[in-house]
Amino acid sequence: MIRLALRTLPVFAVIIGFAMALAAYMNFSGVRSAYLDLIRSRMSMMAEDIANDIMTANEIGIRLPEQTTLPALLARQTVTDPLMLSIDVVSEGGDTLFSSDAARTGKKDDAAGDGGAFRYVRQIVNNFGAPVGSVVVRLDRADIDQRIDSLRFEIMTGALPAGLAAVIAGSLVCLVLLTFLHRHARRSAFDPPANDWIHRAAGEVAQIEPRLQQ
Amino acid sequence: MTSLRVRLSITVVVVLIAALVYISFRTVERAQALLEPELESKAATVADSTAALIGRALDVGIPFDRIEGLNAYLGRILDNNPDLATIVVRDASGRAVYGAGGALDASARTVTAPIGAKDNRTELLLVGLEPSYARRIVSALWVDLAIIMLVTALIALELIYVGFGTGLYGAIEGVEKRLRTLRRGDLRMHLPVESGSEFERIAHALDDRLKGLHETYASFRERASERGDHISQQALDLVRHRFGLGEAMIAAPMSVIAVRAPLFVFMLAEELTRPFLPVYIRQLATPIPGLSPEFVVSLPMVAFLVVVALAQPLFGNLTDRLGRRRSLILGAGLGLVGYCAAAAVTGLIGLTLARVVSALGFAFVFVSAQGFVIDATDIRQRSSGMAMFISAILVAGLCGPPIGGILADRVGIAATFVIAGLFAAASLVLAVLCMPPDSARKEHAPAVRWRDFAPILASPRLTGLFFLCAMPAKIILVAFCFFLVPLEIGALGVTQATTGRMLMIYPVAMVLLVPVFASLADRWDMRTGFVVIGGLVAGASAFAMLLGADQIAPLALMLFGLGVGQAISIAPLSGLVGELSRELPTDVSETSVYGIFRLFERTGSAFGPLIAGALLGLYQFQMTVIIIGAATGLSALLFGALIGLMRQPKVGVPAPGV
């Protein structure tokens, strides 16, 4: 019987394994999405505040390259956040006009080559709808990825023993069910109760026999 | 007694619930550890930004207690940030002057920001974090997790015998069946069981007990007959009626079950694609001059359904020659190639070709599985064998869309196509493992004999049934479930998982209600009435769209109405084909009539997306649905009128000499 129950192990392993993998992935991906949404939402608020300041200055006639108080503002916003690589203000032509990271000032902003950064870009347009430039908030992608990888590892390592336990529990219950069925079937086949239906039917058939022998 | 299969499926659900609850609690813990620092950073940003805004108002001379619209502004911040619970602005004495959200929870974390600190002001802004945010994120997944559990249980129900092996599982189920029938006093003989196992020994022992009784009964019967003893014969008849002595169970042989797993898994692969296929086609489609975008979207679906419709009658003989197992393996292989190709293509033509390959695979699998059942059963066992075949397809239709939707949301459409390909590959492996090697070829009459078209189409009632009921039923099904609803739900901006859940409504209604209505139609002998009412209900379901075309609830109601309507009509429709075919010339076989009936159905399926796409290009979704629904209802009414007009009057036959 144990051998029989063990034969269900591969099927339980495949079915429960698929369900557990999907469930674990959904848990992971739900939390990852929430985490990235939180980060994006915070980045968008930062970029929005800076863009508002830039537009206010622009409205009173200070052109973007002339807004020389921006580096201090960008530095203040950056310093409190350990994930922050830099906040840049980029001209319409793609040149970094101001940055919290002095080394980036004056260089071209290369979004495609900036793989190490998790970026959020907020376009700035003047009152006539003409583009003025953009605010680029850059966070450390490696740090974010490392946190997400750690989340993935912990959820998956939690799912693995739970899945194994589920497979073993399934097989154990299978063993119990098979044993019960086997015992019940053996009794019906080899040691039936005197009042079971076959005996009753045989009794009824036997009642007809005397008449046939007359 | 509940069968072993059902009890094992319940076991799977119970252990899965325990495992998933454990994973979810662990995830909540991890989510809190990951999200809380980020939540605090975000709250600090919100606090700083809002405090700076209030500071600017104060700078221009607005008194602190008269800032207009600040409460509404704070309310909007909370509405847009579900991770925040409260925002309060306090004056120097600590009194809350402005605020949004509930009272600050003592246990909730808060972030503060001073207002106008550079002017030495002492007002303060507090942002309270939502304490149950991480738990809410994880609990939002529970709907999907519940569906995964349900689907897993159904899959377990379908595949559990694979673990035991067909022979051993057949013996276990055979023993269960014997015990079940013995318990209710049904002593008919069962089909023999062969597996070389302990359960086979038990089944034989039970059979021996029954056989002894049946032999005694048969000898008494013979003696009573020889002696012309009517009283004994009557007594024996009573015993036979009561216990089924002298009779045998009519059931499909257990060998039929060998095709169930490969068929189910392959159908599951196709069903996975249902929720997102139209949306995927629309993403890849490029404008074709003279054709509306909606019509263009329907083309790959039409190509699939046309190939299936045309290939099925042709593949009957081909799978006869190739062998059922080999054909199913070939079909699963084509499915694997087709689904993986669909994931890799970048344009409409590529996708259409990939779908054609999948359609060939689908037709091969369908026809060979059907042929396998026909080969393994005799005419009396056929219904029971086909019920197994149909239930595997229905359960796949129930399980596939919700899982496909969840997968498409999480891993993307292309990856889900690859997963569908892997399911097709699993079907191939299961066919190799479970199905017996092809034996000598069995000759079958072709399912469709082309020369039978003329007499069938000359019968107005059969023609009416095919054109006014069978075709519209498939048109509305494919148009609504496979084309219009996925497109509309996609346009509403909800997730693919929601689309998948919606597509469960129709098969759930069918699985639950078909047996009920089938038995009522037979009992009341009202097949025509059920076909007409079913068509009307299915058509009327479209009018649910008048409750609001851009909401989920009317769409769900429409799919439920369609399911109920088709559950009412589907079995009586099939029965009516046989009933009406009796008026045909005797050389037209019932098999051929059914073959032609299925061909009409499949043609209807192919027309479904074509008609829906053409109408959608001309009208909005709501009008398209209503036109198709109204046409379906009207067709059903016309069929009812046709049958009513052609009903032969019951004229009393005059007695001779009168």
**How confident is the model over B283-339, as pLDDT tens digits?**
888 878 878 888 888 888 889 988 988 888 788 778 888 888 999 999 999 999 999
What pLDDT sits at residue A136? Answer: 94
Verify whether the Cβ–Cβ distance B165 to A211 is below 8 Å.
Answer: no
Verify whether the Cβ–Cβ distance B52 to A155 is below 8 Å.
Answer: no
Extract the tokens encoding B400.
């596939």
Q: Nearest Cβ partner of A38 from B42, B168, B179?
A: B42
Q: Nearest Cβ partner of A198 from B12, B168, B209?
A: B209
Residues of B within 8 A of A163 (CB-CB) are: 19
Extract the tokens encoding B542.
């479209």
Residues of A within 8 A of B30 (CB-CB) are: 31, 151, 154-155
Q: Is the per-residue pLDDT at B39 higher than 90?
A: no
Residues of A within 8 A of B410 (CB-CB) are: 25-26, 29
d(CA A102, CA A110): 16
Mean pLDDT of B181-210: 85
Q: Which residue of A has its CA nearest to B198?
A: A182
Verify whether the Cβ–Cβ distance B202 to A209 is below 8 Å.
Answer: no
What pLDDT sits at residue B22? Answer: 86
Q: Nearest Cβ partner of A208 from B11, B27, B235?
A: B235
Instruction: Tabulate helix, strand, coil % of chain B (nearest 5).
Output: 75, 5, 20
Residues of A within 8 A of B35 (CB-CB) are: 31, 34-35, 38
Residues B68, B70, B75, B80, Cα dihedral to 10°: 120
Q: How far is CA B397 from CA B74, B481, B503, in A?
A: 48, 11, 9
Question: Quick one: three-class SS letters along B550-607?
Answer: CCHHHHHHHHHHHHHHHHHHHHHHHHHHHHHHCCCCCCCCHHHHHHHHHHHHHHHHHH
Please, are residues B466 and B640 in contact by the beta-carbon 8 Å criterion? no
Mean pLDDT of B246-255: 73
Residues in chain A: 214
Please, are residues B537 and B563 in contact by the beta-carbon 8 Å criterion? no
Instruction: Share the mean pLDDT of chain B.
Output: 84
Lowest mean per-residue pLDDT among B73-87, B420-434, B578-592:
B578-592
Q: Nearest Cβ partner of A29 from B160, B183, B410?
A: B410
Residues of B within 8 A of A16 (CB-CB) are: 12, 15-16, 19, 152
- CA angle (B548, B552, B556) in 5-degree steps: 100
Residue from A50, A53, A188 whose CB has the most chain B CBs within 10 Å, to mutate: A188
Q: Which residue of B has its CA nearest to A56?
A: B56
Tell me what ipTM this predicted complex has. 0.78
Q: At what angle do helices B277-284 and B293-322 cross, to 10 degrees?
A: 120
- Phi-psi label, residue B519: left if phi above 0, alpha if psi -120 to 50, beta otherwise: alpha
What pLDDT sits at residue B444? Answer: 59
Q: Which residue of B has its CA nearest to A3?
A: B164
What pLDDT sits at residue B655? Answer: 47
Please, are residues B112 and B47 in contact by the beta-carbon 8 Å criterion? yes
Q: Nearest Cβ partner of B42 from A24, A28, A42?
A: A42
| Alpha-carbon distance B396 to nearest alpha carbon in chain A (angstroms) | 15
Please, are residues A47 and B198 in contact by the beta-carbon 8 Å criterion? no
Q: Nearest Cβ partner of B152 from A15, A173, A184?
A: A15
Verify whether the Cβ–Cβ distance B220 to A174 is below 8 Å.
Answer: no
Residue from B22, B34, B36, B79 whose CB has the most chain A CBs within 10 Å, to mutate: B34
Residues of A within 8 A of B209 (CB-CB) are: 189, 192, 198
B658: Cβ–Cβ under 8 A, 6 or more apart, which residues?
none
DSSP state of B347: S
What pLDDT sits at residue B656? Answer: 46
d(CA A32, CA A53): 32
Residues in chain B: 658
pLDDT in tens, B528-537: 899 999 999 9
B501: Cβ–Cβ under 8 A, 6 or more apart, which residues?
B143, B147, B401, B402, B405
Verify whether the Cβ–Cβ distance B27 to A41 is below 8 Å.
Answer: no
Beta bridge partners of B125: B89, B113
Question: Quick one: three-class SS letters along B415-468?
Answer: HHHHHHHHHHHHHHHHHHHHCCCCCCCCCCCCCCCHHHHHHHHCCHHHHHHHHH
Q: Indicate the helix (H) or strand (E) that contains B87.
A: strand B84-90
Q: How much is the pTM? A: 0.75
Residues B255, B257, B258, B264, Cα dihedral to 10°: 160
Please, are residues A95 and A110 in contact by the beta-carbon 8 Å criterion? no
Higher-pLDDT residue of B147, B105: B147
Q: How many CB pairs under 8 A join A and B?
A: 228
Reference B172, options B390, B1, B55; nearest CA is: B1
d(CA B653, CA B1): 53
What pLDDT sits at residue B653? Answer: 47
| Neighbouring C-alpha atoms within 13 Å toward the C-beta of A186 | 7
* R_g of chain B, CA atoms, integer Å: 32
Verify whether the Cβ–Cβ distance B245 to A201 is below 8 Å.
Answer: yes
Q: Is the per-residue pLDDT at B125 higher than 80?
A: yes
The label of the residue with tokens 């109204």 reads B630
Q: How far is CA A180 from CA A139, A176, A186, in A?
A: 61, 6, 10
Extract the tokens encoding A164.
């194994």
pLDDT profile of chain A (214 residues), mean per 10:
71 78 82 88 88 88 87 83 88 91 88 88 87 92 92 87 85 84 88 86 85 73
What pLDDT sits at residue B493? Answer: 79
Verify whether the Cβ–Cβ distance B235 to A177 is below 8 Å.
Answer: no
Verify whether the Cβ–Cβ distance B19 to A18 is below 8 Å.
Answer: no
d(CA A90, CA A121): 10
DSSP string spanning B361-394?
A: HHHHHHHHHHHHHHHH--TTTHHHHHHHHHHHHH
Please, are residues B329 and B432 in contact by the beta-carbon 8 Å criterion? yes
d(CA B276, CA B495): 10
Please, are residues B503 and B486 in contact by the beta-carbon 8 Å criterion? yes
Residue from B1, B23, B247 whose CB has the most chain A CBs within 10 Å, to mutate: B23
Verify whether the Cβ–Cβ distance A201 to B243 is below 8 Å.
Answer: yes
Residue burial B386-401, b: 16+ Cβ < 10 Å; e: rest: bebbeebbbbbbbbbb
pLDDT in tens, B327-386: 999 999 999 999 999 999 988 889 999 999 999 999 999 988 888 887 877 766 666 677
Beta strand A131-140 with A117-125 is antiparallel
Q: Which residue of A has its CA nearest to B186?
A: A197
d(CA B565, CA B53): 60
CA max distance for chain B: 124
Residues of B within 8 A of A120 (CB-CB) are: none
| Alpha-carbon distance A137 to nearest alpha carbon in chain B (angstroms) | 14
Query: Is B65 exposed, middle or buried, given 0-12, 13-18 or 19+ CB atoms closer than 10 A?
Result: exposed
Which amino acid would we find at residue A8?
T
Reference B625, options B566, B529, B557, B531; nearest CA is: B557
d(CA B367, CA B381): 19
Q: Is the per-residue pLDDT at B1 higher than 50?
A: no
pLDDT in tens, B421-460: 999 999 999 999 888 887 665 655 556 677 778 888 888 8
Beta strand B124-129 with B110-114 is antiparallel
What phi and psi values does residue A140 have, to the nearest 5 degrees?
Answer: -75, 105
Q: Which residue of A has its CA nearest to B173?
A: A181
d(CA B426, CA B434): 12
Extract the tokens encoding B354.
């990939």
pLDDT in tens, B141-177: 777 777 777 787 777 777 777 777 667 777 888 888 8
Residues of A within 8 A of B183 (CB-CB) are: 197
Extract the tokens encoding B260.
């169930």
Verify whether the Cβ–Cβ distance A212 to B199 is below 8 Å.
Answer: no
Residue from B1, B2, B4, B8 whose CB has the most chain A CBs within 10 Å, to mutate: B8
Mean pLDDT of B614-618: 87
Verify whether the Cβ–Cβ distance A173 to B239 is below 8 Å.
Answer: no
d(CA A39, CA A33): 10
Q: Report the Cα A201 to chain-centroid distance in Å.
A: 63
Which amino acid would we find at residue B416?
T
Verify whether the Cβ–Cβ distance B202 to A48 is below 8 Å.
Answer: no
B498: Cβ–Cβ under 8 A, 6 or more apart, which residues?
B405, B489, B552
Question: Quick one: three-class SS letters along B117-157?
Answer: HHHCCCCEEEEEECCCHHHHHHHCCHHHHHHHHHHHHHHHH
Please, are residues B151 and B399 in contact by the beta-carbon 8 Å criterion? yes
Lowest mean per-residue pLDDT among B67-81, B409-423, B552-566, B577-591:
B577-591
| Alpha-carbon distance A96 to nearest alpha carbon in chain B (angstroms) | 24
What pLDDT sits at residue A9? Answer: 72
Higher-pLDDT residue of B140, B468: B468
Please, are residues B573 and B607 in contact by the beta-carbon 8 Å criterion? no
